[in-house]
Structure 1
Amino acid sequence: MQTMNTASVLIADVHPLIRAGMAALIESDGKFTLLGQACDGQQAMEMCDRLHPDLLLMDLNMPGCDGVEAIGRIRAQHPDAKVIILSGHDGEDDADRSMRAGAHAYMLKSAPLADLMTCIHAVLQGKKFMMPELAVKLASRIHGNQLTPRERDILMHLATGMSNKVIARAAGIGVGTVKFHVKSIMSKLNVCTRTEAAMVAAKRGLVHLN
């Protein structure tokens, strides 16, 4: 809880080095009080319930709970808490889903520390924040063609290397229907091959492959 112009902060990230770096940054600024660190989504939610931070710095991709789901649950339980997503992915899909779920900002882990501090201060002042390059991507996406839920499902299968026949069996549809959707997907992604579609999808955050 924010007191005497000092904002309380909780850090949630799967990587110990990232958590340590964020903790050092927060503790070096007298305007913040570090409440603790969480290593997964479930722990982040539990610590929010117990500590009631003013600000949560959270990795989007953590074990224990989907990041977008965690954002929604945390914001529902703690509507006054501010959430900043720190991600290693510059895909506009991840940024869009995060902001729609209730995050106040989406920052890349590769961003300069000065930009992160600017983001933190802006969010604590009640503003939304997004890196300019991601904002441009999102604007382009809004005005462009978006994939349907069925196309997203097929794209996920396609990205794992499945053939049209296998995708049809997994999705419970005909091979001809799969071919139609694959053609539509490649057109919307502006690619010519299935490999290119998988690469573009991964870069944009439309699919996440290990």
Structure 2
Amino acid sequence: MNMHFPGPRPATLLVADGHPLILAGLAALVAAEPAFTLAGQALDAHQALEQYAQLRPDLMLIDPCLPGGGIEAIGQVRALDPQARIVVLSAQDGVEDVHRALVAGAGGYLPKQSGFEQILHCLHQVAAHGRYLPPELAKKLAGRIQGNALSPRELEILAFLSDGKSNKVIAREAGIGVGTVKYHVNNILSKLNVSCRTEAACVALRRGLIHSY
């Protein structure tokens, strides 16, 4: 049985990141911290799920952009172990990125530019209490909850907008009428509190509604 309150013994930690150098750095960070013991390392989602099932660590630190699907891996780990304590360390810190990770089952979320002290603090908090968000991310998330969330169809249209596609092209690719596209575009502009399509794309990128790869 996986005990999530290890008491005096070090908490075991599984680290999953698709970048070998980052993975090595995180492993070194854990090795230097007496409160944690490195249980395993994973470079993709399949390895992460396999190692979690075998090792049953107290904590997992994971990149949501892990090859094979980091967000999906979080959901699979939580399905395997509903008490799993998971911290996300991500290059993205948009409010939608945070929301997706928390909905999938993460208990903590930090941007990758966080310092080692903040990473360790987050790990300690999630190990002890199950939850931790830096104040700035918690504030963003609160704003999302209070605001108007975009529907799945509006998110789809927003992705087309960000690619610079016209209403006519969007209608053809989405399989809907041009009038329906215009209706969704107006809703998107209103919900994002912007006045044009370009501004909508910029806000969406900043919030994590869409990503530029």
Question: Do the two structures share a fold, i.e. TM-score over 0.5?
Answer: yes
1:165-204 matches, cutoff 5 A? 165-204=168-207
Hey, what's the Cα distance between the residues in 2 that align with 1:173 and 1:184? 16
1:67-146 matches, cutoff 5 A? 67-146=70-149
Aligned counterpart for 1:13 among listed residues 17, 28, 32: 17
Contact 1:54 1:80 in 2 (8 A): no
Letter in 2 for 1:45: L
**Which residue of the partner structure matches residue 208 of structure 2?**
205
Letter in 1 for 2:55: L
**Which residue of the partner structure matches residue 46 of structure 2?**
42
**Which residue of the partner structure matches residue 37 of structure 2?**
33
Cα deviation per residue 1:72-131 (whole Å; 9 max; x = unaligned)?
A: 110110223210000111101111111111111011111122111111111111331001
Contact 2:42 2:48 in 1 (8 A): yes
Aligned counterpart for 1:58 among listed residues 58, 62, 65: 62
Percent identical among aligned pairs is 52
Deviation at 1:182, TM superposition (A): 0.8
RMSD, matched Cα: 1.4
Contact 1:89 1:203 in 2 (8 A): no
Hey, what's the Cα distance between the residues in 1 that align with 2:162 and 2:74? 27
Cα deviation per residue 1:138-187 (whole Å; 9 max; x = unaligned)?
A: 11111111111110111111112221111111111111110111111112
Secondary structure (helix, strand or coil) at the match of 2:87 reads strand
Hey, what's the Cα distance between the residues in 2 that align with 1:172 and 1:208? 23
Q: Which runs of 5+ in 2 are unaligned?
A: none
Hey, what's the Cα distance between the residues in 2 that align with 1:70 and 1:209? 22
Secondary structure (helix, strand or coil) at the match of 2:210 reads coil
Contact 2:85 2:130 in 1 (8 A): no
TM-score (norm 2): 0.93
Q: Which runs of 5+ in 1 are unaligned?
A: none
Hey, what's the Cα distance between the residues in 2 that align with 1:75 and 1:5? 24
Letter in 2 for 1:50: Q
Contact 1:9 1:56 in 2 (8 A): yes
How many residues align? The count is 209
Moved over 6 A (4+): none
Letter in 2 for 1:195: T
